Structure 1
Amino acid sequence: MDQEGQPLLSKEFQQVLLTTASGNNSSWTERTNSNTDGNNAVKHDPTLGQSDIFDLDAQSFDKWVPFLRSSLDESQLEPMIDELENSIEDHFQGLELQLLQDSQMNDKLETSIDEIANIQNMVQDTLSSEISKFQMKLSESSNELIVKKQLYVNNKKISLKISEATILITKVVRILELSSKCQELITERKFFKVLQNLDSLEKLYLQEFKNYNFQFLIEIYNSIPFLQKVTKDECINLIRNSLNLNLGKNLIKAGQEFLTIYKEELLPQWLETRSKMKLANFKFNSPVEISMRDESSMAKLNLNEFFQLDDFHDSIMIFQNLNELNSLFSEFNKEYELRKTKLMYPLIWKKNKTANYQMNSLLRGTGTTPGAPGHDISADDAFTQSLSLSFLQDYFLRILGFLLYDINLNKATEFILVDNNYNSTNEFWDGLMDRLAPYLKYYIDKKLKTEADMITLKDFLCIYVAILENFKLNIEPLYKILISIFKKFCSLSLNAFNDEFQILLNDDDFMPLSINDKTLYEKVLKICWMKEDEHPNLPDPMSEEPFSVTLPFSPLYPMTCTLAKKTYSKLTAFLSTFYRHELHTLNNILVKLMDDIFNDIVNKKIRSKLESTSREEIAQILINLDYFIIAAKEFSNFMTRENILQNPDMEIRLSSIKHLAESRKLAETKLIELIDSKISDILETIEIDWQIREVRKDPDISIIDLAQFLEMMFASTLQNLPYSVQTLLIFREFDSLTRQFMDILLHDTPSIITHDSVMNFEVDINYLESIIPRIFPSTPGVIDSNGYQSPMTPSTPTFPSANGVDAPTLFENNIKSLEATFMELKQCIELLKAQGKDYNEPEIRLRKYSRIRQEDAALLLSKIQPSVPPTDGSNDDDNSTMDSSSIFNSDSANGMDSSTSRIAKFFNRR
Structure 2
Amino acid sequence: MEANGQELVSEELQKVLLSTNLSLLKSTLDEKDENHERSIGKEYEEELELDDHTLNRWTPLLRSAIEHESLSVVMEELYTSIETNFENLESQILHDSQLSDNLTVSVDHITSIKELIDQSLLREVEDLQLQLAHTTNDVITRKQNYINNKKTSTKIAECIILINKILQILELSNKCQDLIKDGSYFKALQSLGGLEKIYVQDFKNYNFDFLKTIYASISDLKAKIKDESINMVKNSFNSNLERRLLPVGSKYYDFYKDNLFQKWQTSKHEMKLASFKFNSPVEISLRDSGKLDTLNVSEIYPLNEFYDCILIFQNLKAMDYLCTEFRKEYDFRMSKVVYPLKLKGHNSSKKADQILQVAAAFGENLTLVELKAYLLRILGFVIYDNHLNRSTEILRSFGGMGINEDFWELFVTRFTPFLEYYVTKSVSSEDGLIELKDFLGIYIAILENLNVNVDQINKIHVLLFKKYAALLLQVFDVEFSTLLDDDDFMPLTINDKTLYEKVLKICWLRGGEPDHVLDEESNHGPFFATLPFSPLYPMSCTLIKKTYNKLITFLSEFYRYDLGELNQIIIQTIDDIFSKVINHKIGSKLDTTSREEITQILINLDYFIVAAKEFGAILSRENITQNPDLELTLPSLKLLTQSRNLSETKLIELIDTKISDLMEFVEFEWSSEEVEQEPSFSIRDIAQFLEMMFTSTLVNLPDSVKTLLIFREFDALTGRFLDVLLYSSPPMLSPQSVLNFELNMNFLESVISKLFPHEESFPSVPSSPDLDGAHTSDNARSSNLVDNTIRSLHSTFTDLRQHISFLKSPDIDEYKDPSIRMRKYPRIKPETAQLLHKKMVPPVSAGADSVNSSSMDQSFADSISSHKRIAKFFNRA
Scaled to the shorter chain, the TM-score interval is: 0.7 to 0.9
Q: Which residue of 1 aligns with 2:457?
A: 478
Over 3 Å counting, the alpha-carbon distance change for 1:149 and 1:37 in structure 2 is closer
Report the residue type matching 2:91 in the other structure: S
Q: Determine whether 1:750 maps to 2:736.
A: no
Q: Which residue of 1 aligns with 2:798?
A: 823
Q: Which residue of 2 aligns with 1:565?
A: 545
Hey, what's the Cα distance between the residues in 1 that align with 2:629 and 2:449?
Answer: 31
Hey, what's the Cα distance between the residues in 2 that align with 1:379 and 1:863?
Answer: 91
Q: Determine whether 1:186 maps to 2:147.
A: no
Q: Secondary structure of 1:509's partner? A: coil
Q: Which residue of 1 aligns with 2:91?
A: 103
Q: Which residue of 2 aligns with 1:287?
A: 281
Over 3 Å counting, the alpha-carbon distance change for 1:169 and 1:828 in structure 2 is same
Hey, what's the Cα distance between the residues in 1 that align with 2:414 and 2:489?
Answer: 54
Matched-pair contact (CA < 8 Å) for 2:722–2:800: yes
Hey, what's the Cα distance between the residues in 2 that align with 1:372 and 1:815?
Answer: 70
Q: Determine whether 1:47 maps to 2:52.
A: yes
Report the residue type matching 1:338 in the other structure: F
Hey, what's the Cα distance between the residues in 1 that align with 2:397 and 2:825?
Answer: 104
Q: Deviations over 1:665-710 (max 9, x none)?
A: 1111111111122222222222222222222222223322322222
> Which runs of structure 2 are paired with 1:500-511 in the superposition (5 Å)?
500-511=479-490
Over 3 Å counting, the alpha-carbon distance change for 1:174 and 1:23 in structure 2 is closer
Q: Which residue of 1 aligns with 2:826?
A: 850
Hey, what's the Cα distance between the residues in 2 that align with 1:296 and 1:422?
Answer: 33
Aligned partner (choices 595, 599, 611) of residue 579 of structure 2:
599
Matched-pair contact (CA < 8 Å) for 1:372–1:436: no
Q: Determine whether 1:648 maps to 2:628.
A: yes
Shift of 1:653: 1.3
The worse-fitting range, judged by mean Cα deviation, of 121-130 and 769-778 is: 121-130
Report the residue type matching 1:570 in the other structure: K
Report the residue type matching 2:466 in the other structure: K
Q: Determine whether 1:232 maps to 2:226.
A: yes
Matched-pair contact (CA < 8 Å) for 2:732–2:842: no
Q: Determine whether 1:163 maps to 2:157.
A: yes
Q: Which residue of 1 aligns with 2:240?
A: 246
Matched-pair contact (CA < 8 Å) for 2:495–2:526: yes
Hey, what's the Cα distance between the residues in 1 that align with 2:151 and 2:324?
Answer: 58
Shift of 1:828: 1.8
Q: Which residue of 1 aligns with 2:327?
A: 333
Q: Deviations over 1:310-366 (max 9, x none)?
A: 2222222222322322222222222222222222211358xxxxxx654xxxxxxxx
Report the residue type matching 2:821 in the other structure: R
Over 3 Å counting, the alpha-carbon distance change for 1:99 and 1:443 in structure 2 is same
Matched-pair contact (CA < 8 Å) for 2:619–2:632: yes
Aligned residues: 791
Matched-pair contact (CA < 8 Å) for 1:182–1:197: yes
Ranges in structure 1 where 5+ consecutive residues have no aligned partner: 1-20, 57-91, 350-355, 359-367, 782-791, 871-910
Q: Which residue of 2 aligns with 1:839?
A: 815
Q: Secondary structure of 1:602's partner? A: helix
Over 3 Å counting, the alpha-carbon distance change for 1:677 and 1:538 in structure 2 is closer
Q: What percentage of aligned pairs have identical amino acids?
A: 47
Report the residue type matching 2:828 in the other structure: I
Aligned partner (choices 257, 261, 266) of residue 260 of structure 2:
266
Q: Which residue of 1 aligns with 2:557?
A: 577
Aligned partner (choices 742, 745, 756) of residue 765 of structure 1:
745
Hey, what's the Cα distance between the residues in 1 that align with 2:509 and 2:699?
Answer: 18
Hey, what's the Cα distance between the residues in 1 that align with 2:110 and 2:260?
Answer: 125
Q: Which residue of 2 aligns with 1:679?
A: 659
Hey, what's the Cα distance between the residues in 2 that align with 1:30 and 1:709?
Answer: 190
Shift of 1:853: 2.0
Report the residue type matching 1:819 in the other structure: H
Matched-pair contact (CA < 8 Å) for 1:515–1:521: yes
Report the residue type matching 1:669 in the other structure: T
Q: Which residue of 2 aligns with 1:698?
A: 678
The worse-fitting range, judged by mean Cα deviation, of 805-814 and 658-667 is: 805-814
Matched-pair contact (CA < 8 Å) for 2:494–2:500: yes
Q: Secondary structure of 1:385's partner? A: coil
Matched-pair contact (CA < 8 Å) for 1:640–1:651: yes
Hey, what's the Cα distance between the residues in 1 that align with 2:12 and 2:221?
Answer: 96
> Which runs of structure 2 are paired with 1:162-561 in the superposition (5 Å)?
162-347=156-341, 358=346, 372=351, 375=354, 377-378=356-357, 381-385=360-364, 387-416=366-395, 419-533=398-512, 534-536=514-516, 543-561=523-541
Matched-pair contact (CA < 8 Å) for 1:694–1:756: yes
Q: Secondary structure of 1:806's partner? A: helix
Q: Which residue of 2 aligns with 1:724?
A: 704
Hey, what's the Cα distance between the residues in 1 that align with 2:673 and 2:599?
Answer: 44
Q: Secondary structure of 2:395's partner? A: coil
Q: Determine whether 1:862 maps to 2:867.
A: no
Q: Deviations over 1:493-546 (max 9, x none)?
A: 111000000111111111111222222222222211112243337678981112
Matched-pair contact (CA < 8 Å) for 1:251–1:401: yes
Matched-pair contact (CA < 8 Å) for 1:465–1:478: yes
Q: Secondary structure of 2:364's partner? A: helix
Q: Deviations over 1:418-461 (max 9, x none)?
A: 63534443233222223223322221222111111111111222
Q: Secondary structure of 1:743's partner? A: helix
Shift of 1:574: 1.1
Q: Which residue of 2 aligns with 1:893?
A: none
Q: Deviations over 1:175-207 (max 9, x none)?
A: 111110110010011111222221222222222
Shift of 1:27: 11
Hey, what's the Cα distance between the residues in 2 that align with 1:694 and 1:509?
Answer: 49
Report the residue type matching 2:501 in the other structure: E
Over 3 Å counting, the alpha-carbon distance change for 1:373 and 1:424 in structure 2 is farther
Q: Secondary structure of 1:285's partner? A: coil
Hey, what's the Cα distance between the residues in 2 that align with 1:26 and 1:337?
Answer: 113
> Which runs of structure 2 are paired with 1:8-23 in the superposition (5 Å)?
none
Matched-pair contact (CA < 8 Å) for 2:341–2:358: no
The worse-fitting range, judged by mean Cα deviation, of 716-725 and 289-298 is: 289-298
Hey, what's the Cα distance between the residues in 2 that align with 1:722 and 1:470?
Answer: 58
Over 3 Å counting, the alpha-carbon distance change for 1:609 and 1:134 in structure 2 is same
Q: Deviations over 1:607-632 (max 9, x none)?
A: 11111222121111111111100100
Report the residue type matching 2:730 in the other structure: P
Shift of 1:214: 2.1
Matched-pair contact (CA < 8 Å) for 2:389–2:402: no
Matched-pair contact (CA < 8 Å) for 2:358–2:418: no
Hey, what's the Cα distance between the residues in 1 that align with 2:595 and 2:758?
Answer: 22
Hey, what's the Cα distance between the residues in 2 that align with 1:379 and 1:471?
Answer: 27
Report the residue type matching 2:794 in the other structure: E
Q: Deviations over 1:816-861 (max 9, x none)?
A: 1111111121122222222337434332222222222222222222
Over 3 Å counting, the alpha-carbon distance change for 1:31 and 1:232 in structure 2 is closer
Matched-pair contact (CA < 8 Å) for 2:20–2:54: no
Report the residue type matching 2:674 in the other structure: E
Q: Which residue of 2 aligns with 1:740?
A: 720
Report the RMSD for the aligned CA atoms in angstroms. 3.6
> Which runs of structure 2 are paired with 1:780-795 in the superposition (5 Å)?
792=762
Report the residue type matching 2:529 in the other structure: V
Shift of 1:103: 1.9
Report the residue type matching 2:456 in the other structure: P
Matched-pair contact (CA < 8 Å) for 1:501–1:602: yes
Over 3 Å counting, the alpha-carbon distance change for 1:732 and 1:568 in structure 2 is same
Q: Deviations over 1:249-288 (max 9, x none)?
A: 2222222222222222222222222222322222222222
Over 3 Å counting, the alpha-carbon distance change for 1:778 and 1:591 in structure 2 is farther
Q: Secondary structure of 2:530's partner? A: strand
Over 3 Å counting, the alpha-carbon distance change for 1:795 and 1:802 in structure 2 is closer
